[in-house]
């Protein structure tokens, strides 16, 4: 399914740039290049944005844009929900005996 991302979605004002691609990574790669060249926002590479690893350590602007890219493309990763990854069973609750 084709993905689409608009600069407007990233809260970048006065830009009607729209990027389309077959995969989220494809879209992110083009968006990263556009943001760097046109808006002077430098982002990590597409794979890191996809993984969501380390984006919380970016500068405010880059972090917000990276997070918005992930939201706009509906990217979910374990990094969003630390401690709730698969294979982690909920703690057992053993009823206490009187
Ligand atoms: Zn733009």
Tokens 């691609």 belong to: 21
Rounded Cα–Cα distance for residues 85 and 82 (Å) = 7
For residue 61, report the distance from its CA to the centre of ligand 1, in Å: 14
> What's the pTM?
0.76
Distance of CA 22 from the midpoint of ligand 1 (Å) = 20
- Which residue, 16, 44, 36, is CA-closest to 4? 16
In a domain, 90, yes or no: no
How far away, in angstroms, is 1 Cα from ligand 1 center?
Answer: 23
Given a contact cutoff of 8 angstroms between Cβ atoms, the answer to whether 77 and 51 are in contact is yes
Expressed as residue numbers, the domain containing 20 is 3-78
Would residue 42 count as lying in a domain? Answer: yes
Domain membership of residue 96 (yes or no) is no
For residue 23, is it within any domain? yes
pLDDT digits (tens, 9 = 90+) for 52-62: 988 999 999 99
In a domain, 93, yes or no: no
Asked if residue 97 is part of any domain, the answer here is no
Residue 83 lies in a domain: no
> Tell me, what's the pLDDT at 81?
54
Q: What is the pLDDT of residues 19-73, one digit of tens each?
A: 999 999 999 999 999 999 999 999 999 999 999 988 999 999 999 999 999 999 9
Residue 98 domain-assigned (yes or no): no
Domain count, the chain: 1
């Amino acid at each position: 399914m084709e993905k689409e991302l608009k600069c407007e979605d990233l809260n970048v004002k006065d830009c009607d740039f729209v990027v389309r691609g077959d995969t989220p990574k494809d879209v992110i790669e083009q968006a990263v290049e556009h943001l760097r060249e046109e808006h002077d926002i430098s982002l990590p590479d597409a794979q890191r944005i996809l993984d969501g690893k380390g984006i919380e350590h970016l500068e405010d602007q880059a972090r917000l844009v990276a997070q918005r890219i992930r939201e706009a493309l509906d990217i979910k990763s374990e990094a969003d929900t630390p401690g709730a990854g698969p294979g982690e069973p909920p703690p057992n609750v053993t009823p206490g005996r009187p």
